[in-house]
Amino acid sequence: MDQAIHPRLTVLIHPLVQHKLTIMRRRETSTGEFRSLAREVSLLMAYELTRDLPIERVPIDTPLEPMMAPSIAGKKLCIVSILRAGDGIASGMLDLMPSARVGHMGLYRDPATKRPVEYYLKLPEDVAERLVIVVDPMLATGHSAAAALARLKKAGCHNLRFACLLAVPEGLSVLAAEHPDVPVYACAVDRMLDDHAYIRPGLGDAGDRLFGTK
C-alpha cells in the first residue's frame, strides 16, 4: 500500500524507532522528553539514510601496522532543516554526523493561495556537490516539502533525500507527483489529514511539542 503511494518510500520499522515514536505520540509526554526522543529517533533515521554512502580505501597506521581502511568517499553531507520543527530532527542527525554541513529554509503558507512562500534560505556554498537530506518532522499536505525540494534542485542539488517522522498518503502523493526521483524516509505512515491539515492519529504539532510553545 505505502509503496503504491510513493515508489521510493522507506518506512523505518526498527523496533527502537517504533517504540520511541509511540512515546512521542502520547499526550502526556513532556517537552523535554519529546525533544530527547526526537533526537534519538533522528540518529537512528540517519543510520538508515546513509547506509549506501560511497566508500573508498585510504592508507592509515594502526598501533600495530599500516592498512587500507574504508572511509566515506568524496564530498560528504548537508542536512537542510525546514524551519522551525526541522531543527529537532537535524540536531539528532548531527550527533551521528558532526561534520555534516547544515542549511536552513523558512517557509510559510500564504493565506490566500495556501501555497508555501520562502522567507529564509541559507545553504552551504558547495551544497550542489553533497548528498542533501531535507528534514521536517511531518509530511502533511506535502506542499512545503515539495517547495523545499524544488528550491534545492534550482540551487543545483541532484542527490536529495527527504526524512520525516510521520507521513500521510496525501503528502506522499504530492511528492510522488512532483519529485518522484527523491527517496522518502518516514518512521510511520498515518491514516489521513483532518480538516485543519493535522496528521491523524499523529502526535500533535511537532514544533510546539519540541519547543514548548503550546
Q: Average pLDDT, stretch 125-142? A: 94
Q: Where are the domains of the chain?
A: 2-52+76-203
Cell for 111?
Answer: 493565506
pLDDT exceeding 90 applies to what percent of the chain? Answer: 79
pLDDT value at position 115?
80
Instruction: Indicate the annotated binding residues for uracil.
Output: 199, 204-206
**205 labelled catalytic:** yes
Residue-wise pLDDT tens digits, 164-187: 999 999 999 999 999 999 999 999
pLDDT value at position 74?
73
Question: Residue 133: which pLDDT band, with cuts at 50, 70 and 90?
Answer: very high
The correct CATH number of 2-52+76-203 out of 3.40.50.300, 3.40.50.2020, 3.20.20.140, 1.10.10.10 is 3.40.50.2020
**200 labelled catalytic:** no
pLDDT value at position 112?
73
User: Per-residue pLDDT for 2 more than 70?
Assistant: no
Active-site pick, 110, 113, 181, 195: 113
User: Per-residue pLDDT for 113 more than 90?
Assistant: no
Q: Which contacts (CB < 8 Å, 24+ apart) does range 200-205 have?
A: 200/168, 201/25, 202/25, 202/138, 202/166, 203/21, 203/24, 203/25, 203/165, 203/166, 204/27
**195 labelled catalytic:** no
pTM above 0.85, yes or no: yes
Instruction: Indicate the annotated binding residues.
Output: 84, 109, 136-144, 199, 204-206
**208 labelled catalytic:** yes
Q: Average pLDDT, stretch 34-62? A: 94
